Structure formats: structure tokens, C-alpha cells
Structure 1
Amino acid sequence: MITHGELTVRGRIREASNAVLYCSVVHQGRTAHCVYKPVAGERPLWDFPDGTLAQREVAAYEVSEATGWGLIPPTALREGPYGQGMCQLWIEPATEPEAGTPEEPEAGTRAGGAPAGGAPDQDSGGAVDPGGDGTDPARPLLALVEEDEPGPGWKAVAAAEVGEGRTALLVHADDARLRRLAVLDAVINNGDRKGGHLLPAPDGRLYAIDHGVTFHVEDKLRTLLWGWAGERLTDEALEMLDRLAGALAEGAPLATRLAELITPAETDAVRARVRELRHTRRHPEPSGQWPAIPWPPV
């Protein structure tokens, strides 16, 4: 319904860097809520062509669907009240936010969106165990700890300054859902995986949002999910990458769809990243040529 429904703007998420509008969408008697990011509201970036963020968000959704993991909410490129833009299904948080209203949602709760056409009207992605192979869906995903080591069930990211000359260790959960997302980010070359882009849903699934800074031909991977860097990929991930390689072959449906959204060079770069992951069979490590962690991290 996000592709064909009637959009009505209900409010704006003011903390977002680009224009992000909270909307209702009505189609065939059904109502849902979504995020609408008009292309006209995109701020230019020095390293990405102007007016392409919406297409990149949709391309990320298409790749996510091809993995079978369903990590990105349904996303479509469509016309809206302020011109063409991305429209993405609104995901309610697992816990109620402390502030904000439906008309003025908090950016930290849900400040994402995406574009592109042909997205399905249902809310679903791949058939995945929502809890992530036995992980607790209610457990926090990120934390700061005072110890030098992350402790059981956590993966270290980096030391962080917390004021008054003190440091703490930034950690993320050793969670199968996050690990899948780390693989997806490596494939799409996500340059902005922040903590606020992680959305645990009430049903235990994990969704990720804000994928406009993706698919660059150069290595731009910046993420808070470095905890598995250098570790062997799971068998599940390797099997997924084998399927994805086939889906990216010339003339295959995913390759055809990506050709409508990103450049041929960017599609070739996706193929190269998938090929490299299948060859090394390991999670990538920071290259040292680009800041490894986005700013601000949350």
C-alpha cells in the first residue's frame, strides 16, 4: 500500500539531516503510517551525486529482500505531496518513546526512510527467526561499559570518551540479527550505520533504516557493528552470499532492478564485494582509508 496509497503528511521529524515527513497512507480501505523523504529535501553530499539518496534507499531494500533476511522495512520510490521521493513503512518501536507524538516523532525512535518503486505492499521481508537464533529480542543492542573487555554476550567496538577525562568501551550485543545486518552493510557499502538506525520491533524482529549513503564504488563502510571484524562468516551468511551472487548475475531480477536505481559501476561494485566476501569467508575489517565509525555514532 505504500506504493499506491494516498499520502497525507502528518508531521516532520525535525532532527533528521534531510527532509523526513511522517505520513499516513490509505489504500483500498486500509491505513498505515510511513516515512516520506522527498528528493527535493535532500541535502547535497560531496561524495554522492545529488538527488540519488532515495534510489539508494530502495536499492538497499531490494538487496535486503534478496538476502531473505528482511532487515529493511518495505520501501518504495513514488510521487508524493512534495514530488518524487522514498516512502518507507513506519515501524513501531518495541518500547514506547519517552517523548514525541505521532505528529512529531522523535528522530531517535524512527528517523528513517527510503525510496524506489516496485516495493511489495505487505509488511514482510524474509522468513527469519525474529529472535535471531535464540537471542533475546528485548535485550539492549548497544551499551557503554567501564571494563576493558566487553564481557559475555557482547562485542567490543571502540573506546569512547565520556567526559571528565574518562573513557568507556562501546559494545554491541553478540546478536544474530545484528550479525546479519553487518553482512548486509558490507554488501551495500553502508557509510552510516548508527545506533539510532536500529529498530527492534515488538514481534522481536530487527529492522534497519536510513540507507541513503550506500553503494559507493569506493570503500565507505562506517558502522558500529565492527564486533565481528575478521571473524569467519556464519554458514548462514555464506549460503546467503552464494544465492545473492546468482541474483546479481546479468539479467537476473535483482540485477535488473538495481540497474533502475544505481549506476552500472555501482552494481559491479556490489558484485565485487559479494565476490570478496565469498572468497575471504570473513567479516571485513576497517580499511584505515576511511573513518570506521560514523559521527555522531548514535
Structure 2
Amino acid sequence: MRPTDPDAGDFLLRGRIDIEGRLVDASNATLYCRIEADGVDAKCVYKPVGGERPLWDFPDGTLAGREVASYLIAEATGLRLIPPTVLRDGPFGVGMVQLWIETKEGDDLVDVVAPTDVPPGWRPILRAHDRFGDPAVLAHSDSPVVAHLAALDIVINNADRKGGHVLHGTDGGVYGVDHGISLHTDNKLRTVLWGWAGEPLPDDAVEALAALRSALEGELAVALAEHITRREIKALRSRTARLLAAPVYPAPDAEGRPIPWPAF
């Protein structure tokens, strides 16, 4: 089962889930699972709602629902930047189920490296020192698909785009994961993908956002209402309209905390 398969969502909804392990670095219950249906099997991530830690600044809905809403928004852009994601019952109750993305070790799109080791074309966003006191640079790929993901993060108001949440799949695709703290009404954009700050959005990203704006006037808004509030849908429309009116990547807020911690 591939992320681009048209039946991937239905497969995730119907398949039998068997838990194989837990991702212990995650702050909420995140389970690594095998899923099987009609003789086809794959790997997936299952995040039961019952394993979520309450967040004072995200009191409405569930983190699982926000992950599904972010997927629906990404699909409406036509850019396929988030793996197939559904909300369904599972071994520990209702939760988010997302197709697992296989990655190749060492094929990272975000990294911390010595200043002399920044790959050609990569975009440095932060210069600091590592725990040994040596100079280090946080940088990310300048891939056009990563640029699309940075644009998506603006409209979903992603508060937690860590480096480890940007995956380069073995299928060649680029995918964002972990969108549980997105879609707030207040500006909470925190990301490691600041490399295009102040630059115009690519034309195809603008076209994708125009498709999203149209979808928000129809059935997409109805689907999102199952997962986020009406105020959050209204804020999503406003962010999309503002970015289309001035299609430029924003600069980080110097008074805020624009990079999540930890960055990976």
C-alpha cells in the first residue's frame, strides 16, 4: 500500500490493526502497528484519543481530529503532502490512523551540521553552538516540495513543525507528519522551515492555495466541522485568503518563539 494509492484511506478504515510497538519519544501515545485487509498489509501509526495529554491552549476537539483535519486540507490543495490519515476505532478506542512512511537512513531534509558541511543549495535558518561548544547550523533542503510544505504550514498554522516531522519517503515523496497542534485561531506558527522568509510563494503553491480556498466554500468545510470548531474554520479561511492576497512567505516573529523546541 502506497501513500498515493487511491484506496489508501478506505484501507486504513477497514483494516485490522495489530500493535507492534510504541514510539517512546512521542509526548502522546503513539503506536506502531501492522494493518491488514483483503490480503494486503502495511504499517501505520495509531494515536488513540485516550492517550492524549490535555493542552490548555488547545481545549477544543482532539489532537487526532486536528491531524485528520490537516490531512483533509492538504488533500484539498492537491499536493499530497500528508500521508493518508483517518479517524477510526482501534485496539484502544477511537484514534488517528496514518499510513507509515518508510524513509532511507541519512536521507534527511532537515539537519544540524557544521557551518562548512551545509549541503549545496540548503537554506540555513539558525546558527548556534552544539553541546561541545562547536559552531552548528540548523538548515533544510531547498526542495520545491519542502517549499510547498512550508506554505501548507502557514495556512494550517502548524505549531510544531520539527525537523523529524519532515520525511523523505523511499517512494521519492516528501511528507509532513504530526499535525496534532495545528489550526488554532491565534497565530502559533512554529517551524524549522523558515528558509524562504520574505520570498514569493512558488506559482504552483499559489494555485494549490486557490484550490483550497474554493474547497473551503463547499464540502471541505462540512468535513472539517467534524474535527475543529467553526471559529477555527473561519480562521483557516482568513489565513488562506491573506496568503493569496500577498503570496509571500512570512518572516518569524522576533518577539515570539518561531522554532519548536526541541527542533527535532
Q: Are 1:235 and 2:245 counterparts?
A: no
Q: Provide TM-score, normalisation by structure 2.
A: 0.91
Q: Check 1:4–1:289 CA distance in 2 against 1; reply closer, same or farther (3 A cut).
A: farther
In the TM superposition, what is the alpha-carbon distance from 1:80 to its structure 2 partner? 0.6
Contact conserved, 2:185 with 2:231, CA < 8 A, in 1? yes
Partner of 2:79: 69
Partner of 2:146: 178
* RMSD value, Cα: 1.9
Unpaired runs of at least 5, structure 1: 97-137
2:123 equivalent among 155, 163, 166: 155
2:69 equivalent among 59, 62, 71: 59
Query: What amino acid maps onto 1:227 in structure 2?
Result: G
Q: Deviations over 1:130-164 (max 9, x none)?
A: xxxxxxxx5754342325x9674021211122134
User: How do residues 60-209 of structure 1 correspond to structure 2 at under 5 angstroms?
Assistant: 60-95=70-105, 140-146=109-115, 152-209=120-177
Q: Deviations over 1:190-213 (max 9, x none)?
A: 000011111111121111110001
Contact conserved, 1:42 with 1:51, CA < 8 A, in 2? no
1:288 equivalent among 235, 254, 264: 254
In the TM superposition, what is the alpha-carbon distance from 1:288 to its structure 2 partner? 3.4
Question: 3-state DSSP class of the match of 1:80?
Answer: coil
Q: Are 1:36 and 2:66 counterparts?
A: no
Contact conserved, 2:125 with 2:139, CA < 8 A, in 1? yes
Q: Deviations over 1:71-127 (max 9, x none)?
A: 11110000011111000011111239xxxxxxxxxxxxxxxxxxxxxxxxxxxxxxx
Deviation beyond 6 Å, 4+ runs, structure 1? none
In the TM superposition, what is the alpha-carbon distance from 1:15 to its structure 2 partner? 1.5
Structure with greater helix share of residues: 2
Q: Check 1:152–1:21 CA distance in 2 against 1; reply closer, same or farther (3 A cut).
A: closer
Question: 3-state DSSP class of the match of 1:83?
Answer: coil
Contact conserved, 1:197 with 1:208, CA < 8 A, in 2? yes
Query: What amino acid maps onto 1:146 in structure 2?
Result: P
How far apart are the structure 2 equivalents of 1:209 and 1:85?
15
Q: Provide TM-score, normalisation by structure 1.
A: 0.81
In the TM superposition, what is the alpha-carbon distance from 1:286 to its structure 2 partner? 1.4
Q: Check 1:254–1:189 CA distance in 2 against 1; reply closer, same or farther (3 A cut).
A: same
Partner of 1:264: 230
Q: Check 1:179–1:91 CA distance in 2 against 1; reply closer, same or farther (3 A cut).
A: same
The count of corresponding residues between Structure 1 and Structure 2 is: 254
Query: What amino acid maps onto 2:186 in structure 1?
Result: E
